[in-house]
Structure 1
Amino acid sequence: MEDREVITEIIGDNNSNHAIFYIHGFGENRYDGGDLLRDVAKSLPAFKNVLFDLNVEGAQGLTLNTLATQAERIQAVFEEHKTNKYSVIAHSMGCLLAAENQQLLQGAKKIIFLAPAAEDLHQTLQDAFKSRVPEFDVSSEMKIPRSNGTITTIPAEFWRELKNKTPKKTILGVSDSPQMHVIAAKNDEVLADNIFLSSETTNLQILDDNHNFSLKRDELCSAIQGIMSS
């Protein structure tokens, strides 16, 4: 299997006048979090659910695009598939990418952040991966073994970009907008600093679940259905 370009998938009603754009997390594709986003999309069949890959998949695993390229991908998909009404659902690091795109958020009817990664991701990711790589060096391309047996290739430029990001400030900066809804995971095993567990964010729900909401996926989908119907 050769490397392929990032692709887009539509779930639900392709003719709906309300699209939902899904932005996945770090080192993943649209199957992020054990089909997290696709399960949510399937629970909203009346909408035009637009899922897409931010990275490139090959025979051995994913190669991460730079953050700049990922941002360009989000904008391109948005411009291609936007409808009269649209909403945004993002997971983990995808929440940072969404929060940085003001054009995307300004016109959104609903914005839903799932387990948003509002912390120093540059350090968190390094801490998570150092034990897996004998010579951990963010100044060069790295190949990281993942728990599913694949390899994730991370370019040096990705680390340089991430070091200059301010996820906490950026995500908190949009979290109190009236159309914003945050669903945090009480037992998030990925985030070192889960600030939303003690946050006063207006539209906040906390589910007793893990980072990918794999234990109570139906409850999560029901919560999102409620938000989208309100």
Structure 2
Amino acid sequence: MAETLPSPDPGAFPDLTEAHLREVPAGTPFGRIFFAGGIYGTSWSTFRSWGPTTSRFDHHYLAPPQHHPDRAIVYVAPAIPGPTGEVYPALKLCLAECFRDTGVVNLNRDQPYFAVFETTRKLRLLDLADTDWVLEAGANGAISSGPRDRSREWGQTIYAHYPEINGLIYPSSNAPQARNVALWERGADALPARPTLHMPLSDVGLRAAIETYAGQMRMPVVRA
């Protein structure tokens, strides 16, 4: 039976300690796929202030979705060791997170790009993967893999309760051994002036890796 995630009770949240946090040092690479085209075209450094959408930890106020000048988020893949000590490939994780719902990796629609940037300062992230915070706060594994509407309630409550954190690190529902980061506007000043890698997914330099990863995930690659 699948776990049911209860509503968050901030009164039950533990006092935040270093044992609940993952401090990601300056210079850590993060990858993301973004869409430069379409009616909602963005850039590699854009934080989304429109929300909440259907994404898991949008911390914007409750529906209806709207622009929030004081709250913004970006979902990124950190190049950090997972529970096995290996670093999960950021491109593979980004492909899974962006295209698994449609089941097709489209290299051209809305001009998808892959970018990698290295942070300029330390990030303090609430660790929902490798600490006991989830247990102590009255949550369970469904916070990272269950219905997203309830996870968004937790994201909004965590954001309000712990003003000292920059975002969340949590297991990917597509690859539980990998780690995702929901980075809030509180961490925007950790982004550099320019990325270390910035390439359209259609670039020949990414072709072999994309075809390999898409094949492993049983997703066709299309260029239409």
- Interval of TM-score (by shorter of Structure 1 and Structure 2): under 0.3
Q: TM-score, normalised by structure 2?
A: 0.27
> Greater helix percent: which structure?
1
Higher relative contact order (CA 8 A, sep 6+): 2
Q: TM-score, normalised by structure 1?
A: 0.26
